[in-house]
Amino acid sequence: MQWSEVITSPYLQDLPFKIELNRYGKIELTPASNKHGSLQYKIGSFLERKLKKGEVLVECSIQTSEGVKVADVAWCSKTFIKKHGYETPYTQAPELCVEVVSPSHSKQEMLEKAELYLQAGAEEVWVAWENGEIDYYGKAGKLPQSAFGIAPNIPGLPKST
């Protein structure tokens, strides 16, 4: 299955799941909780306030070596938007991709997804855990803090350690 078929299929509209494609073109579904949606919004709003020279996208589809993955939140610089517009899915990952971990995700799945975004061109990936901790990853591996020089202090999301 191609991503264009997924986003235009009337059978896949309004599902309470995040939809992605694996490398074989098969659909993968991840159930999302309301807390998950709230954290997506809060992180996106935080990025919009702190990183002025770009745009925040929620549910950002990205073509990776393992199929189309959908970052919960992404920040794209103005340069990125000028180059890629709103192509769907993006053929290159935006500079910052954020995953809000669902209860059904394992730590290994999140590490693999972070690596896929970095391989696809992201400069940094944040993994936001339900306990409020945020892990930061760059091309060299796990980072002690964000290279973007910002630290989330979001109501409902405890400050990361």
Of the candidates 22, 24, 30, 27, the residue with the CA atom closest to the CA atom of residue 9: 27
pLDDT tens, position by position, 77-118: 999 999 999 999 999 999 999 999 887 788 899 999 999 999
Instruction: Give the Cβ contact number of residue 128 at 10 Å.
Output: 25
pLDDT tens, position by position, 34-56: 787 888 999 999 999 999 999 99
Domain regions of the chain by residue span: 33-141
Q: Give dist(CA 34, CA 2) in Å, integer.
A: 28
Q: Please check whether the domain covering 33-141 is classified as CATH 3.40.190.170.
A: no
Question: Checking phi first, is residue 84 left (phi over 0); if not, alpha (psi -120 to 50) or beta?
Answer: alpha
Q: Give dist(CA 120, CA 160) in Å, integer.
A: 26
The predicted model scores a pTM of 0.85
